[in-house]
Structure 1
Amino acid sequence: MLQIKNIKKTYHTGNLIQKALDDVSLNLRDNEFVAILGPSGSGKTTLLNIIGGLDQYDDGDLIINGISTKNYTDKDWDSYRNHSVGFVFQSYNLIPHQTLLQNVELALTISGISKEERRKRAIEALDAVGLKEQMHKKPSQLSGGQMQRVSLARALVNNPDILLADEPTGALDTQTSHQVMDLLKDVVKDRLVVMVTHNPELADEYATRIVKVRDGKILNDSNPLTREETARLSDQPEHKNLGKTSMSFLTALSLSFNNLKTKKARTILTAFAGSIGIIGIALILSLSTGVNDYITSIEKETLSEYPIQIQKMTSSMMSMMISMMSDDQAPDGDYVEEFPTLNMMAGGKSSNDLKSFKSYLDSHQELLDPYVRSIEYKYSLTPQIFRYEDQDIYQVCPDPVTQAMFGSSGMVSSMLTSTSMAEMFQELPEDPNLYQSQYELKAGTWPKNANEAVLVLDSTGLMSDVLSYSLGLRSGKELDDVLKVLQSKDGGKLDVKKEHWTYDDILGRSFKVLSSSQFYEYDSKFKVWSDKKDNADFLKNAVDKGIDLKITGIASPAKGESVTMLTQGIYYTPELMDQLIKIAADSDVVKAQLKTPKINIMTRDEFGKKPKDSAFSNEDLFTVDEKAFAEAFRIDESKMNLDTSAFSDMNINPADLNLSGIMDFSSLAQALPAMNAETFNQIMNGAIKPVTEETMKEIFTNV
């Protein structure tokens, strides 16, 4: 029993939606001849194809002998079409270069039936349609009616439960049509036959049941199922596999060989032309692959050393060059005309919204993956790196040598990033695959954690003497002498002798890393944040608490690598930067600035506005308690009982006289809170001491 339950099928062509079947339900008996009538476009062929498994329904269910096809896989449909359904087409669909016997036998090749059994059943099927004597003929030697009978024999050779015929007499004359219909009528005795036709006369004469279809709906059914027949239908259809479909390798090879053998000349010409084409394609592919590989390697090497960078502020050199190459004519007259240099410079500068750009990249990562190797983000955060030498502390990042030679100019600093005179400490790319294959690890391991770093040498395995100072291989006191020469106005000569060290001398060298935010301290009296980096005690305490950083590896460019990503220097991991960013974000000074984003917490002035009085004033350094100040300078007469006329007889210089006893330093310190009593005592005791930069720093340490 075949059941069609509420089947729907829609075809979409552009914006056009065509309903082929609209909620069609139809129950068919196991042995009856059903003719489906309807005009073109009514949906009858679509209904036949769905019954045969040639087309899939959108909604509803097709139930075969109580088995639902809702969850059928492609293999299930193949098995259903091969074992349960036979097809008779209007156009015959016979293979022209095979005999009638081979055409009929072909339907059995994927059923796993032996060659002898296939031949026997094919002959029987041809005998049933009256063509046994002509089984060795080709389809081209037959009439239309004979070819349709061969098609019918092929459909019946598998002994299917259902025979589907799509306009089987559409291409035949009247007499031949009746012959084919007589054969179909004989088939009905033990199976279901469903025929689609435009001929109502044939349907009335041969069909036991006529179903009329129009606009995807069933209009009339001449012999529907009775109540008793409907009651016997299964209410809960189950899913079962109908059998396996298979074709042996030898059968497939034999069919292919027979197909080639039928037209030898065509096969030879095709093989010859194909070989020429294959050889040509192979040559083109090999050439293009080689060129593409070369271009790819050049791109990788170029982008490795010069990656595409998008920065906050950019300057377009191209726009400036175009402006300079303008066709402006020389002035015609006795006057001097300006060249718009400022306009060019302003027009070449632009600002990028990196926050929005990063959000875009993060949300479209899958679109970018085929075109990029890595996307990495760098932040304008310079780690503050120090090293110990005995009890002394030396800062090695930012590099003091670079600053002494070139200052802190942003333009100069940006130019130095591609030279050996750049910062000695730099950040590694986040993806190790971008650089590790370009280098040979001389000793140790590549850094993996935040407290690990690698020393990268140049292509010859050397490092600059500046790196030697950074690593602490050379004395910090020697570096001080070098810096004095570099910073002096008159210059000078340096006698830095060439040295060498073993890998063991370098591995394990350690540093302390801090965030700039760790140098600030809040002054509760003046309610400002001040930089305490120049305070020796504060600096030592901060450095002691810094992040440990240790050299764990030494690497240099591998042989044959002409372009590499890393220049010589000491490279730390992105994990270290993540820690510093977190330290800065959690620091009190950053939180305080974020709390008042419009006010500079260092000066208490509003950002972007000129201070009320930009001139330097002592009032910025001192606060005076006038009452305490007057009290401090009250003269104690008992301490003024001195005969200054005796100074000359005693060879005493009045300037050497210690006058500290005549003042109350505690009161004076209270008047000037930025200083203490000991400071005033030192001032009075050393009044005749020459005033130098060092003495002023000593006196005003706490100011």
Structure 2
Amino acid sequence: MLSLKEITKNYVVGDTTVKALKGVSIDFRENEFVSILGQSGCGKTTLLNIIGGLDRYTDGDLNINGKSTKDFKDADWDSYRNHSIGFVFQSYNLIPHQTVLANVELALTLSGVPKAERRKRAIDALTQVGLGDQLSKKPNQMSGGQMQRVAIARALVNDPDILLADEPTGALDTETSVQIMEILKNISKDKLIIMVTHNPELAEKYSSRIIRLLDGKVTDDSDPYNANAVNEEKSAAEKKKERKKLKTSMNFLTALSLSRNNLMTKKARTLLTSFAGSIGIIGIALILSISNGVQVYIDQVQSDTLSTYPLTIEQTTASVGEIMSMMAEDREASRDHDMDKVYSQNQMARMINTLMQETKVNNLEKFKTFLDENKEIKTLTSDIKYGYATTLNVFKADTSEGAYQVNPSQVLMDMGYLSETQMMGMSMGGAKGSPMRGMDVWNEMIDNDDLIKSQYDIIAGRMPEKYSETVLIVDKYNEINDYILYSLGILDSSEINGIVRKAITGEEVKLNNEQHSYTYDELLDLKFKVVPTTDFYRKKDGVWEDMKDDYDYMVDVVDKGLEVSVVGILRPNDDAAATSINGGIAYKHELMEYLVNEVKDSEIVKEQQENPDIDVFSGLKFKGENDEENEQPKDTETEEPQKEEEPTAEETVTQSAPAAGMPELSDEQLAALMAGEKPEGMSDEEFTAMMAQMSAEAPAAEMPELSDEQLAALMAGQLPEGMTEEEAAAYMAQGGNKEQMQELTDMGMNAMGGLDMGSLMSGSGDFMGGLTDAQKEFLASLSDEQLAMMQGMITETTQQNLDQLANSGKFSNTTYDANMVVLGYATLENPSSINIYPKDFASKERIIELIDEYNDNAEEADEIEYTDIVGVMMSSVTSIINAISYVLIAFVAISLVVSSIMIGIITYISVLERTKEIGILRSIGASKRDISRVFNAETVIVGAVAGILGVGLSYLLTIPINAIIAHLTTVPMRAAIPYAAAGILVLISILLTLVAGLFPSRIAAKKDPVIALRTE
């Protein structure tokens, strides 16, 4: 079965070739106990290693079961050692960090034997050598004889054909040596045992055949055997021995077990090694924690900023961004003039041209469809908010003292800052950019609960879930601006009635500065009523009349309105760089959708839609393009419109009476009316209406200019000195001297326009600047009605009344579109504004690209113009963030390189320490790949421990780091390692150690097993 044919083995040592074996030819029987004797250096161990496949012969041939081994590959030799050979060494060569049972099981593990069978066979082998009760001991807990028995059990467990014993009793006492030899003799009954020994007595006593070597040659063979001369049939046992080639394989779990047990025998060193490997991981983790903290802060700032300054698209818009870009370009542009003078920078013409050219009407209905259908934009945004022209009319739910409107806020009107007409204009939208548009305290919240929760803490109640639920916003000190309290009717608005007029006239303004406090339950008990604008009108005599001044009607309307309640109180958290809600009450978008649908489905809107040519408020026809020309009679000769002669004042009064539906006036009544007195028999309402028509229809006669004292007396209802009653009445009827009244109007506008809202809110400010003493005295003398008259002149209501009277009985002085705006009509498909809230600046840039792509594919009329003020101001932020990221990446890369080099060195040291283990594993059939796998497993374990240790220490280190950051800065930035990043760091640590260990493990795999076994 085993035959050596002219085996030679040469070793090259420097320039010298040493011939260890010189043409050795030996045939061995299937089962016999062969002892090889000889002096030291005669080639005994070399011969044994060649037979065992640990060493390669230089020349000759080794036949196994009649098969030559000349063409054997490494895998063939590995399989041969694992399945056909069992080694018993003088120094036992047990793996010290494995138990007795694990040492014996190892050969079976390499054979791929299942765990249950492997354990059973290992126990049987140990029981056979008398160690069935020593399974859990480690080799260092046993005597030399016991360790040699373990080695024999390991050699036998895989049922090999040949057992090779290299001085098995060399380290044992006589009694133990005899026990070992008895075991080997019993084994030789079924197997071939080849033993190398220096003890001829044991050899002669126990061996069935003795071969002597001298200087690499066989000098004597006590029982020679010639395999070629034996022609007997192979026995069944021999046939059984003809096994097909089997492969050895150590799975990674086994390699992990070997390495884990080895590392556990050196816990302190393993821990220190892992700590050394974790230094790089700690550096990476801390950099990532700070980077993550900075990035989280930057993301929060971006998200918060963009939630306050979204991409804004209005139906009618001017490109503010274009203007700012133009100004920025001018600042950066090079100059070619000298620096010895000061030069003008001519931007006004370009700015005006840009405004004129860039102002356009956006088709938001079509663009909304694009946004709804584009899935990518939804992933890039925190929310997309659609605004509508519908006014949110909110009243206090308690109508016991009448209907009090809290939105649009009535505070400015109560203060005397604005007239009712101006307030109505504001409620219908106002001019874009007007500071008054931000004075309402009801704000729509963005539809992103996560973003809101990141900016606000819920200090009481909960977030709204239905459209009839709202939240109250307080500041970071749990305070609410008293303007909001007055607006919501929580504070009595009567305290601020007329304070602006008083301030203008020089009166001392005193407000109650007592700081009020409210419990959470009190604020959560707030109830309001939402009423559609269309409910303010009632149909009477075929037309719709405005009922806002009807006390009982408005109370009834408010009582029937939608009840809205406050269900939560929010406070900005400390980490919020900006907030998405201005303050006051925040409501869900669904509330506006409810209002839009209510207005759309109202009777008055439907009637106006069904009769687009008729004004539902007057019953008159809307004026068409040709109506103004057709309404005037033409001269029969010239075909030009006839010019009507202006009537006298008396003719005006006489003609006005029938037009107003009043009776004919007598001469006495007419005289009294011209004198400014109420005629006998005329009611107050008729007198007021007649005076209004007189002022509107009377011919514009030139009135004398009055002194400030005369004008003040006249406005106070007194007869000015130097004027007759007729002159005073005519002056009032005509509206005064045009230039003087214009001056008064300008004065009022200047006074009102110069009023600073910030100063008003804080109770400070010079409201009297620019007024003369006479003007102050004049304003102080005005009654509320007269002040309203002056405000009416400022807002040009006089001109509106003139227009209405001019068209009286002919055409409506308004239009269909204007009526729909007054009613607050809108459709959900066609918003009046769109606010797009990007998640961050990168998302914003991508959204802009998508909008640009939309514009490229749209017709010119459908192209969208948007406003991106933050984009212009913050264009450099992305570059800064990228620069910081690149610097951090560079630090991380350096740390990775250092960590990898250090781990590679540590792994190489482990290879040097475990060299003998490499020889042992190779002797029982482990392949080079298995050896690599063992050390790769060790690097994986070290890498995992290093990663976990590094991440754990990094988490601990973030505590003092955050304390230092909080102490040194006010920035709410906190270093933190995300859990996902922590897991990735551990994986990176494992991967790095694995990569770093590839070279040392390859060195380990290439080690000569014979040399490795000799290493101590």
Higher-Rg structure is 2
Q: Please report the TM-score for the alignment, with normalisation by the length of structure 2.
A: 0.35
Q: Whose strand fraction is larger, Structure 1's or Structure 2's?
A: 1
Q: Whose helix fraction is larger, Structure 1's or Structure 2's?
A: 2
Q: Please report the TM-score for the alignment, with normalisation by the length of structure 1.
A: 0.47
